[in-house]
Structure 1
Amino acid sequence: MSPNSHCFPTGQTLLSVQQDIKAKLKHKYQHISEGIGHHGNQSLFKDIYTELYITEGGSGGLNNEHEVRQIEMASKKQTTQETPIKCNDIFKPLPGQDKPIRTVLTKGIAGVGKTVSVQKVILDWAEGKANQDIHFMFPLPFRDLNLKKDQYSLMQHLSHYLSELKEIDSIEDGETKTVFIFDGLDECRLPLDFKNNEKCCDVTRPTSVDVLLTNLIKGNLLPSALLWITSRPAAANQIPPECIDQVTEVRGFNDPQKEEYFRKKITDQNLANEIITHIKTSRSLHIMCHIPVFCWISATVLEMMLKEAEKDDVPKTLTQMYSHFMLIQIIVKNKKYNKDTESNPKELSQSDKEMILKLAKLAFQQLQKGNLIFYEEDMRECGLDVTEASEYSALCTEIFKEESGLYQDKVYSFVHLSIQEFLAAVHALESCLDKKENVFSNNSEDEEKESIQLSDLHRRAVDQALKSENGHLDLFLRFLLGLSLESNQNLLRGLLTQTGSTTQTNEETVERTVRYLSDNIERESSPERIINLFHCLNELGANSLVEDMQTSLQSGTLSEIKLKPDQCSALAYLLLMSEEVLEKFKLKTYNTSEKGYQRLMPVVKTCKRALLDGCKLTFKSCETLASIHQTPNCPLRELDLSYNDLEDRGVELLCVGLTSPLCNIQTLVLGQCGLTEGCCSDLASVLSSPNSQLKQLELRDNDLQDSGVTLLSAGLKDPDYKLHTLGLSGCLVTEEGCAALSSALRSNPSHLKELDLSYNHPGDSEGGLLSAALVDPTYKLMKLNVDHGGECRLKSGLRKYACHLTLDPNTVNPHLTLSEGNRKVTWVVEDQHYEDHPDRFDCLYQVLCREGLSGSGCRYYWEVENDGDQIYIGVVYKGMKRKGDEDDSWIGLNKKSWCLFCSDSGYDFYHPGVSVRRSISDPVLNRVGVYLDWSAGTLSFYSVSSSGTLTHLYTEHTRFTEPLYPGFGFEVSSSSVTLCQIDDQHNQR
């Protein structure tokens, strides 16, 4: 038969081959080893399998966080109801999906149960329990495919694996339904060059494994075949998103499943309960138990230690847990292979020590390369004898099968990434203490071995971890520092010739390292990297800063103190480590600097509502927020960024996250953010993205103009948009922009329910067309606001809300004089002997304006120029007391008034229950702008430059119940305040 001729199987042949393959797969997958692979005690799969929690996983996009950080997020109590997916149903469309699914990508961190899910699906098919419409399942792990260097056809590859397929020349007749299962994309060492690999459509044509894989995934080969790919999150982006039809995620154990596991694993139920109680006392241990493999490690250690050890010796940190785990495995190994009854793990034989150190060296080298699997040549490089290494199967698992062909070669890995990271830390520590070598030093560096200190290694390790873009050294660093403690080194004294340092005491080492970590916490710019430094401090037992923050948090005094940046980082660490999801995170609750606010940004990923308004954030903060939007399990639904100078480039960065399938933002507020038409195409792309969940978008008081609204309207025409509410108040919109909106509504009338176009100039015709949509049943529009319109609203910034104010002579204190048509007030020494009036301030040097400001939807803006120091600028209810010098007469010190205090050293906002200091690095300006949206309960203050540029100082959100009267007060004689004329020449953007 020629290579290109296809002989399709008869029904009888197909059935016979299928039955033979099912029998082979059933034999191969019916047993499972927990944690320790081929050499462990095997159990029947059906006896110990528990359905894992699998959900829709968004996209195959890159997640650069260390997997322990991802577990920390997953450990938060879920606030939304997710629909679990049974592993046998992964090729079935989810509710609301109508397209067929060919390729499924299942993500999950190391050890969370991806391979077990694969085993479940294969075994159920082989035993006739599920997916019986499938003719063939082909499990092809990437760790095995890496070893195939020669060129074969797809059918030859499959025949090497399953010899029964030799009876079939081809499986591409369109009638044969096949599933290819590629487990472990993160272990793939093939280039997977989707762009440049040659096209291959023939299952009988020999070519490289890489070419076969890319053509299978792209659908050139066997387009009717189903593909299931599993991967750790960091490697998921190797597959082009257009090749993936559905993404799922394995989440591991939830809290009830953790307890269920320990009660199944430990036959003594009292001991099981004791283990569960102990795990709950340590947040870090409890978090890690979301990973089934870590539950096995914990059960292995705690079952032995709670039976035999003093309670004080029971592991409370990750370093202690892994140290005991390694030593216990040595006992198990010696009993099994050497018939050794000695159970003191601290006394190691020379062969045990040499073997562990070789494994530790292998762990470090492969961690540096980012490898989780390795082969015989990697073992030999570290001086490891392959047969001898198999004895340590609990630490290093040899995975090979008896079949000829695909599984003949041996592939190695550590049981879990965290064990590899722990052993890598052991190698770094032993190299420093015993060999006087710094594993992070270049060979070219001339270092005197005798002068190398453990604290030097720590410094290098901290530096390397902070440089890592994906945090791959984060857990390694925590282990390395934890091993610096004398108590942990004593556990490993059989492994380490030296403990501590010959010239540096253990206490000195820890002290220097704590100081270096603290210095980096102060100067590091990445909030995420800083959080890991606090984990490192926790391993060293240096928790004073975190404990201080915990005390202040519990006592409710945090808002009363000015937080330093390192205190903000400690607070962020506390909030992130809590298992609770915050209902609301209001950033300006905390009195800190702009740098401090930046340190608190990671907390956004653990709350439902993030109120970040008026915190002097810039476009740089948007990059952090965009990464948060792409965080799995993020509960954030509402984000308020108003009154921050984000500019168009900030929104551009933000939109990258808003289009992520992992983003669940439903409400986005961007009022007064310095935006122009330049950001509108990015926002339109969010509205038209099928991934976007956005329902409310508030853009008020940005100079978008007609051109920007036209770009935005393109997104409203897209059938995928889900927006219900759009706020464009005060955005310089005229008839042209309204025409674009009207056209968008006609094209897609089924979603938008509320549209705010107040304080614009829509004109009669276009305003009428939009109004007609309110009564037309074709449209969903229920609320349209075009109030307060007119040509006067086409002024940039807040000038469109300018109001005319005059000072009220009946309120002025006798030591104040009015001038310039009652628009200027000055403090004078001489008593002016004004006639008595019930509205007059008799003791305090204050004055109010005549005009009371209120009204539904009414907005006001005014500017004052002050000459002097310590001046009050505020608003009051008419009923505020005027007589005496108590707080109830002082602007800002009672519930009937609000004020900004301006002095040479900065600005302070005052209102009972609110006292906010706003120091700025720039010189204090002598001109202040005040913006009032009475019905919205918004009062904002700005400093105004000589060119008219506004810099936001503070915004107070409250509920106003009476008209407000602008007022002023003085504390220094000869000071004055002038109500400014706001003309069209000011550029207030």
Structure 2
Amino acid sequence: MYIIESLDELSILRELSFRKLVSVEHYQTIKNKNSSTVYAVSLLEDIQDLGRDAVLGFWESLYVLQSDHPHPNLLAVLDELTQTDKIVFLIVLVVSSAVVFVYFPACQLEHRQHLLEKTQDLVEHKAPGLKTERQNVPLSDRYLDLIVVSNNTFRKRDQHEVIATGGILEQYLHKTQCNLEKISHNRLFRWCHRSRCVPQAVLVCGVPGVGKTTLMQKFVYDWVNGKIYQRFAFVFFFKFRDLKQDEFSLAQMVVNQYPHLHSHLERIFQHPEKLLFIFDGLDESKIPMEFKSNQLCNNTHSTESVCVIVESLARQSLLQGCSVLITSRPTKLSMINLQVFKRISEIMGFSPTEREGYFKNFLKDPESANKTFHYVRENGMLYTFCYIPCYCWIICTVLSKCFNVHTTPTKCQTQFLPKTVTMLFVTFVCNIFENHTHDLSEAKAMLTHLGWMAERGVMDQILTFYEEDLHSFPGSSSSHLLSSFMEESLQSSWKSYSFLHLTIQEFLAAFVHYLDYSHEKLKTSLDRAKVFEDGHGEMFLRFISGLSDTATRSMLEPYVGKLSFQTSRQVISFLQDSICQDVLPNNTDPDKRKMLNVFACLAESRNNLLVKSTLGSNRQLDFSDFFLAPLDCTVLDFILESCEQTECLDLSSCFIQTEGLERLEPTLHTVTDLSEYNRYTMT
């Protein structure tokens, strides 16, 4: 399907027509009336129904087309077919639904049953503001496919990873995908065209909340049910956040997680080629891991640090022949020796179709789902982040009451419909407080403690917290209010905590400065967030700017009391300084990304007056030779609207997608001189 979707439709249809297998006109009609996926499914099903000779003719056609259409997915499959005369046997081992018990059936059955119980349900948090309790839902009912691509070019990013990935995904979705190899989870350990081997160490990366853990859960669930990788007799799944103990052996690590294997472990380890170790969340490891160490172990009973054990498995000094699958955030990869991994893939998130599918699954009522998705789709600020499943959950919980067709209209449906990401998270927090009866002082005290912990985590890039981090909290760490913001992970004798999503942590980190104002603390945080080279302070700056808007901030005051006006004034002063430093023509070659970051903060603040008074009506904006993602265009649209009249907007040699153009067009009439607008636009 990936291959058919990526190839020029006329080329493949003409080849198949030449072999008298299909009608070109028939499938062109299907493609024109439906999505590329519907067209691909229809074509492949019809080819299979025609029988063996048609299938062989189909592959002959693809073989002929590879020179003119060297798509990575096509080259990878054809390459795999030529590698071994055992290809059918190997594929059967990967995808066979027949479970082969190699050693001791009772032990393997018990292990599979244990993993089935752990993976068959998705744990869904209670949606704040909804009366219905949402509990565990079957994974098979809720799981939606994620876009996973082969990616071996990781560089140090200069933009917040969530924002950057959203822009990259939009670019992938709108360009001809000539260099984009999509990888389904049942091919992660198949032949890798780029490294020219069957990989034993695989790395899957993705931004927080994009679905790394859920994809791993789906991987294990499908293995348990005999759908993929039956060449592995045992799969062991660990989370780095749970591996807090300083030192242990591999044998101890496995038994701690899987006590039922205690008496069988020695025999299991005798067949390493039948073992798969999954380690989720490398970025949450307590000790930094770079895969460059000279200290490796080769004994399963040797007491070592987590880093040594994981690196030894990945580099094949421990249990040589085993397979290892590791997940991580992209920001950590610039410090890692990536040569250890023979396949590197990145989860890009939901396609537009899957985004809409998520809304329909969550909201159940088709009319409510359609209204909610349409509102988000029309709002560039909100829609950009919908490629992240966790973000979709947040936005659905917020808007579910606003667009519920079975309830009477409320303020939420009119006055408080979120227009910015800050407003979205403000409404999310308000919904949480509506469901709790805490008094003002208790709620404010708890949010203050939680906020300072979040702030420290944002500044120092900490995502996982422990009991000692919660000691200063008023009340128990098991409080229902705390569980609305954080999730708890229990492993052996310790607990770890993390915020439901990175953006919730970033929002609370910004919000705490309005709860507990300190001029020096705020100045330090603003200055630090602005200069982080990897951009991880960008969302913090957007949230703290968004909260400077009085109307947005006032929504929270019924629950936590009066918020700091001094913080708002200091933030606005910070924005004025940023405009002078990064936007106004102090140098001949301004940093366009820094300009857009400032514009994004202004858009969150909704401060039209500030934009007009500082930029003026004769502003010249230059984005020539620059890639403008759809979110950038939404932000730029706000700036143009606020300025009311812009002298010159230079988009020469600027790359803008169709979606970006749609977001810009409402205010282009305010530009006096629009340089080379149409000539270089990528549609």
Q: How far 1:570 sits from its partner (Å)?
A: 11
After TM superposition, list the pairs within 5 Å mapping 1:82-161 onto structure 2: 82-94=180-192, 98-145=196-243, 147-150=244-247, 152-161=248-257
Aligned to 1:933: none
TM-score, normalised by the number of residues in structure 1: 0.49
Q: Which residue of 1 aligns with 2:581?
A: 520
- SS class of match (1:182): strand
CA contact (8 A) 2:148 2:346 kept: yes
The answer to whether the 8 Å contact 1:60/1:239 transfers is no
2:582 is the counterpart of 1:488: no
Q: What are the Cα deviations for residues 518-542 of structure 1, in whole angstroms up to 9, with x where unaligned?
A: 2122358543232211101101224
Which one of 441, 459, 463 corresponds to residue 368 of structure 1? 459
Structure 2 residues without counterparts, runs of 5 or longer:
1-100, 128-132, 405-409, 635-645, 659-672, 677-683
Instruction: Go from structure 1 to structure 2 and tell me whether the alpha carbon gap of 1:313 and 1:914 turns closer, same or farther (over 3 Å shift).
Output: closer
**Structure 1 pair 154/547, CA: closer, same or farther in 2 (3 Å)?**
same
Which of 412, 421, 425 is 1:318 aligned to?
421
- How far the C-alpha of 1:317 sits from its partner, in A, is 0.4
Give the 3-state SS of the residue equivalent to 2:313 in structure 1. helix
Give the 3-state SS of the residue equivalent to 1:156 in structure 2.
Answer: helix
Percent sequence identity is 27
CA RMSD of aligned residues (A): 3.8
Instruction: Select which of 473, 497, 514 maps to 1:429.
Output: 514
Asked whether 1:53 is paired with 2:144, we answer no
- Say if 2:112 is the partner of 1:22: yes
What secondary structure, in the 3-state scheme, does the structure 1 residue paired with 2:577 have?
helix
What's the secondary structure of 1:75's corresponding residue? Answer: helix
- Counterparts of 1:944-955 in structure 2 under 5 Å? none
Give, as a single letter, the amino acid of the residue that structure 1 aligns with 2:458: L
Q: Deviations over 1:846-869 (max 9, x none)?
A: xxxxxxxxxxxxxxxxxxxxxxxx
1:253–1:290 contact (8 Å) kept in structure 2: yes
Corresponding residue pairs, total: 532
From the two aligned structures, give the one with the greater helix fraction: 2
Q: 1:534 aligns to what?
A: 599
Deviations along 1:100-130, whole A, 9 cap, x unmatched? Answer: 2111111111101110000001111112222
Residue 131 of structure 1 deviates from its aligned partner by 1.5
Bigger RCO of structures 1 and 2 (CA < 8 A, at least 6 apart): 2
The amino acid that maps onto 2:565 is S
Contact 1:55 1:249 in 2 (8 A): yes
8 Å Cα contact 1:31/1:43 also seen in 2: yes
Q: When the two structures are superposed, what TM-score results if normalisation uses the length of structure 2?
A: 0.70
Q: Counterpart of 1:179 in 2: which secondary structure? A: strand
CA 54–36 in structure 1, closer or farther in 2 if over 3 Å, else same: farther
Report what 1:960 is aligned to.
Answer: none
Within 5 Å, give how 1:206-245 maps onto structure 2: 206-245=303-342
Q: Is the 8 A contact 1:36 1:393 kept in 2?
A: no
1:266 aligns with 2:363: yes
Task: For residue 513 of structure 1, report the CA deviation from its aligned partner.
Answer: 4.9
**1:39-71, Cα deviation, whole Å (9 max, x unpaired):** 961111111111222111224544342023211
Query: Which residue of structure 2 lines up, in the alignment, with residue 438 of structure 1?
Result: 519
1:167 matched residue in structure 2: 263
C-alpha displacement of 1:78? 2.5
Q: Deviations 1:463-511 (Å, cap 9, x if unpaired)?
A: 3332211111111111111111111121111355434537x9x7x6676
Q: Say which of 536, 558, 568 aligns to 1:472.
A: 536
Match of 2:82 in 1: none
Find the counterpart in structure 2 of residue 736 from structure 1. Answer: none
For residues 131 and 427 of structure 1, do their structure 2 counterparts lie closer, same or farther at Cα, with a shift above 3 Å needed? same
Q: Is it true that 1:305 corresponds to 2:402 in the alignment?
A: yes
Distance change in 2, residues 1:220/1:439 (3 Å) = farther
Please show how residues 531-930 of structure 1 align to structure 2 within 5 Å: 531-542=596-607, 564=620, 567-568=621-622, 577=631
Assess if the C-alpha contact under 8 Å between 1:22 and 1:126 holds in 2: yes
CA separation of 1:60/1:383 partners in 2, compared to 1, >3 Å: closer, same or farther?
Answer: farther
Could you say if the C-alpha distance between residues 178 and 60 of structure 1 is closer, same or farther in structure 2, counting changes exceeding 3 Å?
farther
Select which of 52, 70, 75 maps to 2:170. 75
Matches of 1:534 and 1:95, distance apart in 2? 42
State whether residues 575 and 598 of structure 2, in contact with CA within 8 Å, keep that contact through their aligned partners in structure 1: no
Which residue of structure 1 lines up, in the alignment, with residue 78 of structure 2? none
The SS at the match of 1:140 is strand
Structure-2 change in CA distance of 1:57 and 1:257 (3 Å): same
Instruction: Identify the match of residue 289 of structure 1 among 370, 378, 386.
Output: 386
In structure 2, what residue type is equivalent to 1:25? L
Query: Does the CA contact (< 8 Å) of 1:60 and 1:241 recur in 2?
Result: no
Structure 1 residues 18 and 914, CA gap change in structure 2 (3 angstroms):
closer
Give the Cα separation in 2 of the matches to 1:88 and 1:575: 32
Measured against aligned partners, the alpha-carbon deviations of 1:383-418 in whole angstroms (never above 9, x if no partner) come to: 563222x54323111122xxxxx5442110001100
Query: Which is strand-richer, 1 or 2?
Result: 1
Which structure's CA Rg is the greater one? 1
Q: Which whole-Å deviations, capped at 9, do the CAs of 1:296-318 have from their partners, x for residues lacking one?
A: 11111111133422423201101
Going from structure 1 to structure 2, the CA distance change for 1:592 and 1:466 (only over 3 Å counts) comes to farther
1:170, 1:370 → 2: CA distance? 41
What are structure 1's unaligned runs of at least 5 residues?
1-10, 335-339, 341-346, 401-405, 441-456, 553-560, 581-590, 609-912, 917-989
Query: Equivalents in 2 of 1:394, 1:297: separation in Å?
Result: 12
Do 2:223 and 2:229's aligned partners in 1 also have CA atoms closer than 8 Å? yes
One-letter identity of the residue aligned with 1:48: R
Cα contact 1:59–1:241 (8 A) shared by 2: no
Tell me, in whole angstroms, the C-alpha distance in 2 between the residues paired with 1:67 and 1:314: 27
CA gap of 1:915–1:238, structure 2 versus 1, over 3 A, is: closer
Corresponding position of 2:92: none
State whether structure 2 residue 136 is matched by structure 1 residue 42: yes
